[in-house]
Amino acid sequence: MSDLGHVLVLAGGLSYEREVSLRSGRRVSEVLRAAGVSVETRDTDASLVPSVLADPPSAVFVTLHGGAGEDGAIRSVLDLLSVAYVGAGSDACRIAFDKPTAKTMVRSVGLRTPDSVTLPKETFHDLGASAVLGRIVERLGLPLFVKPSRGGSALGASIVRSAEDLPSAMVGCFAYGDTALIERYIEGVEVAVSVVDLGEGPVALPPVEIVPVDGVYDYAARYTAGRTEFFAPARLSPEVSAACAEMAVTAHTALGLRDISRTDLIVDAEGRPHFLEVNVAPGMTETSLLPMAAEAAGEDLGSLCRILLEQAAARGSA
């Protein structure tokens, strides 16, 4: 056993991504145990606070996706409990989880991100949907990508290639959140770049290229083995690959993230990367991108997670 003491892996929660989170939690727990760490895995429910107070873990690995897991809420509670955890602090999470805010922040440090508009559903109700949607199409052009301003796993997200499809995309989006981010869709290569900081500053792992078999990286394509082909490292020239890595590290730094993050981006036909969004609790399932990137880099996932926990424990709570 490692001298880390016992650690806690948080998984589950009440977000739409509960199932994915449980899978991530199982995977992280397994690799940590294989790396000699004493692990307890638990859901976030009413027993969490008393149990952490009764037997504080040396550090927490948060594998909660969506909602409280990524918007800073759980991390604020961990701060209140004086427990150290892997990953960004609550304030940084709050900013990064809100996609429009994150886009504004990374654009301010010079990163390229697709033009977009963010609107709550009330705006469409109050001003009339057709007038507003018409103006959006005029202004941003087609195709568009519509997604909830907060959330993940492509839930509520869709590509819109003709103006008449926009209303149903909006309805699908508002099923998962009250505010929509509508951005210009960039045709290109989907790439995810994971960033880890093992004590010597944030470093990009090899970019992973995503090629969905059916052309769309939706929920089924994300979590059904075989529905997507992954290239790790991505089939990019060294220059483009380096530009992607730089974008991910810059975003990680600009957003004040810590330890671990994953930036999703698209490389256009000219080889230019465009920032789409960042994840503060990247998926860790068998079909997730960060574990693939770690493997491509020759890193053992268990050792990587253990080091991150050791760093967090040494850093202590906020």
Which residues belong to the active site?
17, 153, 288
Cα(300)–Cα(249) distance, integer angstroms: 21
Provide, rounded to whole angstroms, the least separation between the CB of residue 255 and another protein. 26
- What residues contact 41, with CB distance under 8 A and at least 6 apart? 8, 9, 10, 11, 25, 26, 29
Pick the binder of another protein from 110, 125, 187, 215 (CB under 8 A): 125
Whole-number Å distance between alpha carbons of 193 and 50: 37
Give the footprint of another protein on residues 136-155 (CB under 8 A). 153, 155
| Nearer Cβ to another protein (55/178) | 178
Q: Which of residues 54-113 bind another protein (CB under 8 A)?
A: none
Tell me the two tokens of residue 170.
């909006």
Peptide bond into 273 cis (omega under 30): no
Closer to another protein by Cβ: residue 11 or 260: 11
Identify whether the C-beta of residue 266 lies closer than 8 Å to the C-beta of residue 191: yes
**Would you say 54 or 269 has its CB closer to another protein?**
269
Residues 294, 275: Cα–Cα separation, whole Å: 21
263 lies in the binding site for another protein (CB under 8 A): no
Q: Which is nearer to another protein, 91 or 229 (CB)?
A: 229
Instruction: Tell me if 255 contacts another protein by CB under 8 A.
Output: no
Q: Using CA atoms, how far apart are residues 58 and 2, in angstroms rounded to an integer?
A: 12
- The residue assigned the tokens 């671990």 is 260
Q: Which of residues 144-203 bind another protein (CB under 8 A)?
A: 153, 155-156, 167-168, 170-172, 174-176, 189
Calpha distance 304→35 (Å, rounded): 9
3 state DSSP class of 40: strand
Count of residues touching another protein (by CB under 8 A): 53
Q: Which stretch binds another protein (CB under 8 A): 14-22, 30-38, 134-142, 195-203?
A: 14-22
> Can residue 217 be called a binding residue for another protein (CB under 8 A)?
no
What is the smallest separation between the CB atom of 224 and another protein, expressed in angstroms? Answer: 4
Task: Tell me: does residue 135 bind another protein (CB under 8 A).
Answer: no
Residue 275's SS3 state is strand
| Residue ranges of the binding site for Mg(2+) | 264, 277, 279
Other beta carbons within 10 Å of 154: 17
Q: Give residues in contact with another protein (CB under 8 A).
A: 14-20, 22, 45, 121, 124-125, 129, 153, 155-156, 167-168, 170-172, 174-176, 189, 209, 211, 213, 219-220, 222-232, 235-237, 239-240, 267, 269-271, 286-287, 292
